[in-house]
């Protein structure tokens, strides 16, 4: 099928299948899945500027479907999402500006790539170690890590860290009853979302693989609510990104709409599957995802080096 906006021929079934697979991952882990979609679209022949913008447009649609399902399951903290949107958009703009500044110097791709590989590998190893530790401890004490009926009592191996951040007293402080947090500094939430936003601006996509674990480990949000809230927040930040990219002629909305037909089904399936996983199991399953992102970046860097 010919897509005249970007001027490329692409197989629509290929697009639907990519959408479906990324949809399952997105609904289940609360991530945009750009680290898989971008290389898949680029490999099919879509120019890189269209890859970034079109992927963002498709993320909006997929996240709406997954977030609606998570809302039915009670996994979205609207107050938390509202605050995080501010930090993400500000961080995303900062990330874009930092990239523009770095572009003036040499080796920007290499610097950003190596930093990303280190961060992603660190997150993957940490998530794997932490969730495995919790699963082993709870198996020893013979008590389930968290039941699906009481998700607000999610357990992590480094609970003390989130509690220390919750004790950070800088006003204003907000209460997040839906996430089971009595009081937390507004600035702590803003800081976490700002860091996620910087990575989003740096690398494109939603950067859910940074924000989701950051919500769990730094803010103490239960895993299921972190997944649902992250998806809700992605709708707004990715919509903003889509509009900006579309204005610059980087979005082929027809490709995004075709992809979204598969993603809509996949995202629903992924979101429903979270019901059958406890918090630590979700985090253990999530661990290979940032590692996959690191591999994709390493492959791109090696490709650049060889060419």
- Which chain residues interact with other proteins by CB under 8 A? 3-5, 12, 57-58, 60-62, 64-65, 68-69, 239, 242-244, 246-249, 251, 253-254, 256-258, 260-261, 264-265, 268
CB of 275 to other proteins, least distance (A): 14
130 or 230, CB closer to other proteins?
Answer: 230
56 or 124, CB closer to other proteins?
Answer: 56
CB of 11 to other proteins, least distance (A): 13
Q: State the DSSP code for 167.
A: T
117 or 227, CB closer to other proteins?
Answer: 227
Count the alpha carbons within 13 Å of 175 in the hemisphere toward its beta carbon.
2
Assigned token pair, 169: 């007293």
CB of 9 to other proteins, least distance (A): 14
* Residues 12 and 1 sit within 8 Å (Cβ to Cβ): yes
38 or 258, CB closer to other proteins?
Answer: 258
Contacts of residue 304, defined as CB under 8 A and 6 or more positions apart, other chains included, come to 109
Assigned token pair, 301: 């860097």
Assigned token pair, 65: 């479907």
Contacts of residue 128, defined as CB under 8 A and 6 or more positions apart, other chains included, come to 284, 287
* Residues 61 and 264 sit within 8 Å (Cβ to Cβ): yes
12 or 47, CB closer to other proteins?
Answer: 12
* Residues 231 and 63 sit within 8 Å (Cβ to Cβ): yes
Distance between CA atoms of 158 and 93, rounded to whole angstroms? Answer: 31
CB of 164 to other proteins, least distance (A): 39
Pick from 116, 98, 99: nearest CA to 210: 116
CB of 125 to other proteins, least distance (A): 35
Element (H, E) at 8: strand 8-9
Distances (CA, A) of 175 to 28, 109, 181, 230: 27, 41, 6, 18
CB of 245 to other proteins, least distance (A): 8
53 or 279, CB closer to other proteins?
Answer: 53
250 or 278, CB closer to other proteins?
Answer: 250
CB of 53 to other proteins, least distance (A): 9
CB of 257 to other proteins, least distance (A): 6
Torsion from C-alpha of 59, 64, 69, 71, nearest 10 degrees: 120
**Residue keyed to tokens 């009670």:** 74
80 or 251, CB closer to other proteins?
Answer: 251
């Amino acid at each position: 099928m010919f897509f005249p906006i970007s001027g490329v021929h692409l197989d629509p079934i290929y697009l639907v299948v990519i959408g479906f697979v990324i949809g399952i991952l997105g609904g289940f882990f609360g991530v945009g899945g750009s680290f898989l979609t971008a290389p898949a679209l680029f490999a099919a022949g879509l120019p890189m500027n269209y890859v970034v913008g079109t992927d963002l447009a498709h993320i909006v649609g997929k996240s709406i479907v997954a977030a609606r399902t998570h809302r039915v399951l009670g996994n979205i903290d609207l107050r938390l999402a509202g605050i995080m949107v501010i930090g993400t958009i500000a961080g995303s703009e900062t990330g874009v500006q930092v990239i523009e500044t770095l572009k003036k110097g040499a080796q920007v791709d290499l610097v950003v790539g190596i930093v990303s590989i280190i961060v992603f590998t660190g997150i993957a190893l940490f998530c794997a170690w932490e969730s495995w530790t919790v699963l082993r401890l709870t198996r020893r004490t013979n008590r389930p890590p968290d039941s699906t009926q009481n998700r607000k009592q999610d357990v992590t191996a480094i609970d003390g860290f989130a509690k220390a951040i919750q004790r950070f007293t800088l006003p204003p402080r907000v209460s997040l009853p839906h996430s089971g947090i009595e009081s937390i500094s507004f600035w702590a939430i803003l800081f976490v979302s700002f860091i996620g936003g910087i990575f989003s601006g740096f690398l494109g996509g939603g950067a859910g693989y940074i924000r989701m674990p950051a919500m769990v480990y730094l803010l103490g949000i239960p895993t299921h609510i972190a997944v649902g809230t992250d998806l809700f927040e992605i709708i707004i930040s990715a919509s903003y990104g889509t509009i900006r990219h579309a204005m610059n002629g980087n979005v082929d909305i027809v490709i995004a709409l075709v992809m979204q037909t598969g993603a809509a089904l996949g995202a629903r399936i992924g979101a429903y599957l979270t019901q059958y996983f406890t918090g630590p199991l979700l985090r253990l399953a999530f661990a290979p995802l940032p590692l996959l992102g690191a591999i994709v970046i390493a492959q791109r860097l090696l490709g650049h080096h060889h060419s």
